């Protein structure tokens, strides 16, 4: 045996998880499915149908199910990816020079990815399990906590805010972000800024930055 790429069936380290080498076509198809699902769910929301995912991925339904035993699993996989992006942005915000702007940018970003992905909006709105799970996995709670804490220290964020308020705000924004909001379609960035204004400490000015 001279494995070109990886080891074979591998005798399984301890108990569970047996890693196995995937055939090239399998890997390729998996990617295709993910890409298709990403597009479909983003465009049509969680109601997009599995057979359509297969169609877009140019693959049979069976193949979709081989890679993701359940629609739920597929959704969860996509959600995980989005939450990873969110976490990344949060870290970025924490590392930012300006703590307040770091927080604001995170909030704006969370609105934006939802505006770009109807599926994500729906996960946040009606799949608490998936959302909590994904959020936990990437450590969002701690990240939000740090974000809030740092901003508060800087004095530009109201003292009574707690980290749980951040995901709550993000969820709320996910509701007004999709494009069937009747008369208010596309006006969501206004609300983002309004909320941000509401986050300032009582009596603080809303005018631009401080001097450096």
Partner DNA sequence: AACTATACGGAATCCGAGTTCCGTTTGCAA
Partner DNA sequence: TTGCAAACGGAACTCGGATTCCGTATAGTT
Contacting residues toward DNA, per CB under 7 A? 1-5, 9, 20-26, 29-30, 47, 49-51, 58-63, 65-67, 69-72
Q: Phi/psi of residue 155, each to 5°? A: 85, 5
Residue 54 or residue 104: which is nearer to DNA going by CB? 54
CB of 139 to DNA, least distance (A): 29
Q: How far apart are CA 34 and CA 78, in angstroms?
A: 8
Q: How far apart are CA 118 and CA 45, in angstroms?
A: 5
Residue 66 or residue 145: which is nearer to its own copies going by CB? 145
**Cβ of 144: how many Cβ atoms within 10 Å?**
25
Token pair belonging to 38: 């990403």
**Which residue shows structure tokens 């983002």?**
192
Q: How far apart are CA 172 and CA 191, in angstroms?
A: 10
Q: How far apart are CA 105 and CA 94, in angstroms?
A: 10
Return the closest-CA partner of residue 125 out of 188, 167, 68, 72. Answer: 167
CB of 142 to its own copies, least distance (A): 12
Residue 52 or residue 142: which is nearer to DNA going by CB? 52
User: Would you tell me which residues interact with its own copies (CB under 8 A)?
Assistant: 125, 128, 131-132, 135, 141, 158, 160-162, 164-165, 167-169, 171-176, 180-184, 187-188, 190-191, 193-200, 202-203, 205-207
18 in Cβ contact with 12 (< 8 Å): yes
Between the CA of residue 82 and those of 53, 118, 129, 140, 195, what are the distances in Å? Answer: 18, 12, 15, 12, 23
Residue 186 contact partner, candidates DNA, its own copies, none, CB within 5 to 8 A by sort of partner: none
CB of 200 to its own copies, least distance (A): 8
Residue 203 contact partner, candidates its own copies, DNA, none, CB within 5 to 8 A by sort of partner: its own copies
Residue 30 or residue 89: which is nearer to DNA going by CB? 30
Residue 206 contact partner, candidates DNA, its own copies, none, CB within 5 to 8 A by sort of partner: its own copies
Residue 60 or residue 155: which is nearer to its own copies going by CB? 155
CB of 124 to its own copies, least distance (A): 8
């Amino acid at each position: 045996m001279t494995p070109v790429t990886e080891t074979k069936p591998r005798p399984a380290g301890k108990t569970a998880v047996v890693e196995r080498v995937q055939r090239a076509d399998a890997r390729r198809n998996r990617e295709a499915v993910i890409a298709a699902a990403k597009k479909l769910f983003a465009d049509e929301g969680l109601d997009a149908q599995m057979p359509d995912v297969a169609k877009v991925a140019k693959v049979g339904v069976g193949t979709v199910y081989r890679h993701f035993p359940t629609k739920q699993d597929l959704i969860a996989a996509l959600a995980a990816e989005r939450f990873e992006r969110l976490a990344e942005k949060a870290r970025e915000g924490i590392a930012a020079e300006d703590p307040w702007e770091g927080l604001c940018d995170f909030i704006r970003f969370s609105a934006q990815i939802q505006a770009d992905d109807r599926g994500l909006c729906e996960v946040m709105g009606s799949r608490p399990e998936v959302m909590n799970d994904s959020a936990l996995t990437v450590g969002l709670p701690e990240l939000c906590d740090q974000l809030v804490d740092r901003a508060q220290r800087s004095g530009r964020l109201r003292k009574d805010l707690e980290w749980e308020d951040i995901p709550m705000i993000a969820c709320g924004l996910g509701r007004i972000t999709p494009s069937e909001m009747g008369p208010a379609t596309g006006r969501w960035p206004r609300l983002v800024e309004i909320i941000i204004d509401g986050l300032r400490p009582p009596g603080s000015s809303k005018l631009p930055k401080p001097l450096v």
